[in-house]
Amino acid sequence: MQILLATSTEQFHNREIELESLRDQLQALGASTDVLVLPFSMEDPHVLAQLASYRMLDVRHFADCMVSLSPPTHMLRHPNKVLTFSEDGPQMVDSWDRKYGAIETKPMQAIRNLIVHAEQVATEEAALGICFSHHVARRMQSVVNSVVIDATNLAFQLVGKKAKNPRLAGKVVA
Amino acid sequence: MKIFVVNNMVPFVRGGAEELSNHLIQQLRDHGHRVELIRVPFKYEPPEQIYSEMLACRMMQIEDADLVIALKFPAYLIPHPNKVLWLVHQYRQAYDMWEAGSSNIPSTPNGIELKRCITEADSDCFKNVRRMCAISPVIQQRLKRFNGLDSELLRTPLNAPEQFVEGEYGDYIFCGGRINQTKRQYLLVEAMRYTSSKCKLVIAGPADSSSDGDKLQELVQRYGLSDRVHLDVGFHPREKIASWASNALACAYLPIDEDSLGYVSMEANQAAKGVLTVTDSGGILDLVFHDETGWVCEPDPIALAAQLDRIHEKRSETIAMGKNAKKRWLAMGINWANTIERLVA
């Protein structure tokens, strides 16, 4: 099984160790992995163009499964796309709100609306959402079929094997 | 300094460019820089997809970087005001390979338009970089000819050179690297049947396809060379490759028109081994000078056999050639310290 792990520079610093750990676990479980890292800047004039650029890349035939580990890699297209939603701001619009939420001009509102719409489309087309908290899962369950798991069991979930600790193995919430 | 290294990738395929970017990052970090790697997926079939890939790269933004070092098309199109290009690859199918009739871009009006767009995007990007370096003279010449641009030569250094040492000078000639038709290991096997001495040959490396490995094995069997030719097809740990090279009498490398000096020949020289190569091997000839640092002959089994015999029979001359090769190689100053200094200057 080939699994493509996708991440962006937006949250790469915070998740580099997590990514390496996941990669190692997947390989130990027999999966082949590769990692793509795309640049991203939250500077407002460029956000929408960057989201479009992610949609324009074609990764559909490169792997059996693509896992988005940080926004906005969930914008990438893949027939077996798995999204992961961390505890702190599962979507890009959360980052937008943290940075620009107080600026209520019409252009900024228009950009925000487009981000929300783009995320809705990209999320709905995913095969699965993996949430690391029930709070996030409740928020996502109307958009994508989701499971809640402990982050340490992500690799087991992705390769469809039984986790070492069944209590944390993954519970379907939607 | 915060630096982004920008490369593209075909997922699950790894080659010299991936190795180069990994070592570049490590070396930059060792020199005290904060470094991140960007890996943009690249799919060049169908060719029309290349429009989207180029446009996508031009729409991306790199935030909070003091310097961007870009290596390959189309990832080098990602904009940044302080970008250094260390060019490993343009999209050759729009340039020399187009002329040679070996491009995936069709000779149709649509294909010609795509080729024009690639050339224009390249030229536009190259004009705006702070510094333009190329890894080989061949790439420099291509840039000059097709894009009208001058560039600095900045060759790729050898990775982990400390692993390649002057060993025992055994009784075999070592040929490492990927095994395929363009690396022409088969020519060495054919040459072995014409040798009059008892020289031995070791060929070791990953085959690009199973048929590449099988063909070589079949040749060894057909010519009854099993006792003198050792084939070890597969991906070997670097330590094992280094040991083979370090303890060889000499090394051989016969690629067809290679752009660069070739890791195989650089590793050989680092291990104080002369290199046997042929007249159409391209960039290798910037390192191998006949009767000084190795042996250069026609790409012909009988001519190669004569050189293999000479390497084996004139052992002290062969060892002296290897020592001289190392001396000249080190004098070229192609190492990571100098490379990093030039890239971040």
Q: How far is A35 from chain B (nearest CA, A)?
A: 8
Can you give the pLDDT at residue B129?
97
Nearest-angstrom CA–CA distance, B255 and B253? 6
Using alpha carbons only, give the angle A161, A167, A168 rounded to the nearest 5 degrees: 65
CB distance B43–A54 less than 8 Å? no
Query: Within chain B, which residues score under 50 in pLDDT?
Result: none
CB distance B61–A38 less than 8 Å? no
Give the ranges where chain B is alpha helix by DSSP (H). 16-30, 49-59, 96-99, 109-127, 137-147, 185-192, 210-222, 238-246, 263-270, 301-313, 315-331, 336-344
Nearest residue of chain B to residue A39 (CA atoms): B62
Please report residues of A whose CB lies closer than 8 A to that of B53: 56-58
Please report residues of A whose CB lies closer than 8 A to that of B62: 9, 39, 41
Can you give the pLDDT at residue A166?
45
For residues B167 and B140, state if they share a domain.
Answer: no
Kindly list the residues of chain A whose beta carbon comes within 8 Å of any beta carbon in chain B. Answer: 2, 4, 9, 12, 32, 34-43, 46, 49-50, 52-54, 56-59, 61-63
Q: Is the dihedral of CA A144, A112, A57, A86 positive or negative?
A: negative
Can you give the pLDDT at residue A169?
43
Of B10, B11, B38, the CB nearest to A38: B38
CATH number of the domain encompassing residue B28: 3.40.50.2000
CB distance B43–A62 less than 8 Å? yes
Q: How far is A94 from chain B (nearest CA, A)?
A: 19
CB distance A9–B62 less than 8 Å? yes
Nearest residue of chain A to residue B60 (CA atoms): A50
Give the type of residue at B32.
G
Is position B221 within any domain?
A: yes
Q: How many CB atoms lie within 10 A of CB A31?
A: 19
For residues B12 and B149, state if they share a domain.
Answer: yes
For residues B49 and B28, state if they share a domain.
Answer: yes
CB distance A50–B57 less than 8 Å? no
Is position B342 within any domain?
A: no
For residues B121 and B52, state if they share a domain.
Answer: yes
Q: How far is A61 from chain B (nearest CA, A)?
A: 9
Q: How far is A50 from chain B (nearest CA, A)?
A: 5
Give me the phi and psi of A46, to 5 degrees please.
-105, -5
Domain stop point among B154, B182, B211: B154
For residues B290 and B170, state if they share a domain.
Answer: yes
Domain stop point among B154, B172, B204: B154
Can you give the pLDDT at residue B208?
84
Q: How many CB atoms lie within 10 A of CB A13?
A: 10
Select from B75, B329, B237 the least CA-distant residue to A37: B75
CB distance A59–B9 less than 8 Å? no
Give me the phi and psi of B252, to 5 degrees please.
-135, 140
CB distance B39–A54 less than 8 Å? no
Is residue A18 helix, strand or coil? helix
For residues B177 and B230, state if they share a domain.
Answer: yes
Kindly list the residues of chain B whose beta carbon comes within 8 Å of any beta carbon in chain A. Answer: 4, 6, 9-12, 36-41, 43, 49, 52-53, 55-57, 59-64, 78
Q: How far is A74 from chain B (nearest CA, A)?
A: 15
Domains of chain A: 2-172 (3.40.50)
Is position B20 within any domain?
A: yes
CB distance B38–A9 less than 8 Å? yes
- Residue contacts between A and B (CB atoms, under 8 Å): 85
A21 membership: H or E segment, kind and range: helix A12-28
Is position B336 within any domain?
A: no
Please report residues of A whose CB lies closer than 8 A to that of B52: 56-58
For residues B117 and B174, state if they share a domain.
Answer: no
For residues B252 and B300, state if they share a domain.
Answer: yes
Domains contained in chain B, number: 2
For residues B167 and B291, state if they share a domain.
Answer: yes
Is position B289 within any domain?
A: yes
Q: How far is A68 from chain B (nearest CA, A)?
A: 14
Whole-complex ipTM: 0.88
Domain stop point among B154, B181, B210: B154
Is position B258 within any domain?
A: yes
For residues B293 and B186, state if they share a domain.
Answer: yes
Is position B337 within any domain?
A: no
Of A2, A9, A49, the CB nearest to B12: A2
For residues B184 and B312, state if they share a domain.
Answer: yes
Of B9, B56, B64, the CB nearest to A36: B9
Can you give the pLDDT at residue A150?
76
**pLDDT tens, chain A, 174 aa long:** 999 999 998 754 556 777 888 899 999 999 999 999 999 998 878 899 999 999 999 999 999 999 999 889 999 999 999 998 876 556 788 888 888 888 889 999 999 999 999 999 999 999 988 888 787 888 777 777 778 877 778 888 888 766 554 444 444 443
Of B36, B43, B59, the CB nearest to A9: B36
Can you give the pLDDT at residue A42?
87
For residues B127 and B230, state if they share a domain.
Answer: no
| Domain span holding position B191 | 161-331
Is position B343 within any domain?
A: no
